Amino acid sequence: MQRRRFLGMAAAGLAGATGVTASACGGGTGPGGDDVTLKVVAADYGDPGGGNGSQAYWDELARGFRKKNPGVAVDVTVLSWNDVDEKVAAMVADGEPPDIAQIGSYADYAAQGRLYDVAQLLPIPVQADYLPALADAGEVNRAQYGLPFVSSTRLLFYNKALFADAGIDPDAPPRSWAELRSAARKLEAGGVPIPYGLPLGPEEAPAETMMWLLGGGGSYTDNGDSYVLDSPENIATFEWLRDELVGAGLTGAKAPAETNRQDVFDAFGRGEVGMLNGHPTLMQQADRQGVEYGTAVLPGRNGPAGSTMGVADWAMAFKANGNGDAAGKFLAYAFDVDHHYDFVGRYDLLPVTTSASARMRADDAHQNMRRFLDQLPTAEFYPVGKVSWGKVSAEIKRTIGRAVEKGVDPGNILRTLQQTAETEESAGAAR
């Protein structure tokens, strides 16, 4: 989602969640015949203060798996999205990778030969249940290494009460950038602290950036999958943001470069934000805090954006410990339709399997998810299959917020990012 959250915020591992035998691809024991202890690192999808952390789900999953498979210990640690990718990278660098990681990217590990191919892990019926576009996004050199874990698409959220107070029709959200700017001006004149929330801080700057690039007719890559970060369309998008939103004082007092996604989500829940781009989990937070909100297709330069951003978070299995059989069995259990649907339903996320997607579309309890589901077929995803993406994404997080500062030429920022991307691509190809 995202795609997203660890150090110091790490939840305890699965206390007592030991003993589980695996047989997905063969036996349930390690190479020496002893019981296996699977080390699993997973990301937390709960929101701060929401009391809905992901540890409870993994506790339940491990207990159920243990009952069915009494020979493999499962030790799960749930960590914050802010640092989980970095923590797993440190574990790998130290020669102690987990057996399974559920994080934001997989391609670099796959290119290094560290991961099991999905075909080595899962039975064919489980593989076939993944939505094709997401399964394809998990490939490196035509082999699938990344297992999509959850997905989401993005919509424009807006506060209906603030719209009404500002004289804006709450049933007619902006469809173009000009309409968004006009609505933001009215919200600002009405005293709304943050007319439009623009989180270009390090938490999820690549997501907010991509949504705006798509609305401006650009993206991170072209149809040939080559980076085009400094395209004329992308430069024009950031010039518009710099001049028409940030420079006009329509994004609040805090600099976008210092604003994280959770900052604006929390402010939206307090009734301080008129509009922001959001994923389905924001609905839970807004509902809990009594915010009357609407959702709409992302505005684009001249009308509704032609596509929105899709995000998938990934699961993968490392080969270092030789526990592929046990890891495959546990992953297959996690993607059983009941278990997968339980998880996505808790956090208002989109399923990654055909079976769970069909269940959600038919479930009236999740009718508010249908608009997000409708966006999935045309959504564009991060270029996660590129080995370079992890480092490019990190550099976007570090620098893109400066592109909207007064007096800064966004083209210089984007050209530097393009150079970084090309350098990383060349380095990846040489490995």
Q: Are residues 320 and 357 in the same domain?
A: yes
Q: Are residues 74 and 199 in the same domain?
A: no
Asked if residue 428 is part of any domain, the answer here is: no
Do 106 and 52 form a contact (C-beta atoms < 8 A)? no
Residue in the block written with tokens 């243990």: 66
Q: Are residues 162 and 147 in the same domain?
A: no
Asked if residue 233 is part of any domain, the answer here is: yes
Residue in the block written with tokens 């489980």: 126
Phi, psi of 226 (to 5 degrees): -95, 145
**pLDDT, tens digit, 9 for 90 and up, residues 65-121:** 988 998 888 889 999 887 898 999 999 999 999 999 999 889 889 989 999 999 999
Once rounded to an integer, what is the mean pLDDT over residues 394-402? 96
- Residue 113 CB neighbours (<10 A): 9
Q: Which of 260, 281, 307 is the last residue of a domain?
A: 307
Asked if residue 350 is part of any domain, the answer here is: yes
Q: Are residues 340 and 319 in the same domain?
A: yes
Q: Are residues 302 and 162 in the same domain?
A: yes
**pLDDT, tens digit, 9 for 90 and up, residues 177-190:** 999 999 999 999 99
Q: Are residues 224 and 242 in the same domain?
A: yes
Phi, psi of 179 (to 5 degrees): -70, -35
- Residue 284 CB neighbours (<10 A): 16
pTM equals 0.79
52: CB partners within 8 A, 6+ apart: 46, 284, 346, 347
How many domains does the chain fold into?
2
Do 174 and 274 form a contact (C-beta atoms < 8 A)? no
Residue 185 sits in a domain whose CATH number is 3.40.190.10
The 10 Å CB-count burial string (b at 16+, else e) for 21-56 is bbebbebbbbeeeebbbbbbbbbbbbbeeeebbbbe
Q: Which of 249, 276, 307 is the last residue of a domain?
A: 307
Q: Which of 30, 9, 89 is nearest to 322 (CA)?
A: 30
Q: Are residues 91 and 53 in the same domain?
A: yes
**pLDDT, tens digit, 9 for 90 and up, residues 333-377:** 999 999 999 999 988 899 999 999 999 999 999 999 999 998 887
Q: Supply the pLDDT for residue 429.
A: 63
Q: Are residues 77 and 176 in the same domain?
A: no
- One-letter amino acid for residue 411 of the chain: G
Domain that holds residue 246: 155-307
Asked if residue 240 is part of any domain, the answer here is: yes
Q: Are residues 198 and 267 in the same domain?
A: yes
Q: Are residues 175 and 253 in the same domain?
A: yes
* DSSP string for 52-87: --THHHHHHHHHHHHHH-TTEEEEEEEE-TTTHHHH
The size of the chain, in residues, is 431
224: CB partners within 8 A, 6+ apart: none
H or E stretch including 209?
helix 205-215
Asked if residue 424 is part of any domain, the answer here is: no
Rg of the Cα atoms in the chain: 22
Do 205 and 401 form a contact (C-beta atoms < 8 A)? yes
Q: Which of 307, 323, 348 is the last residue of a domain?
A: 307
Residue 4 has pLDDT above 70, yes or no: no
Asked if residue 406 is part of any domain, the answer here is: no
**pLDDT, tens digit, 9 for 90 and up, residues 23-55:** 333 334 444 444 888 999 999 988 766 678 899
Q: Are residues 170 and 301 in the same domain?
A: yes
Between CA 26 and CA 343 the distance in angstroms is: 27
Asked if residue 13 is part of any domain, the answer here is: no
Q: Are residues 129 and 266 in the same domain?
A: no
Between CA 345 and CA 252 the distance in angstroms is: 33
Asked if residue 7 is part of any domain, the answer here is: no
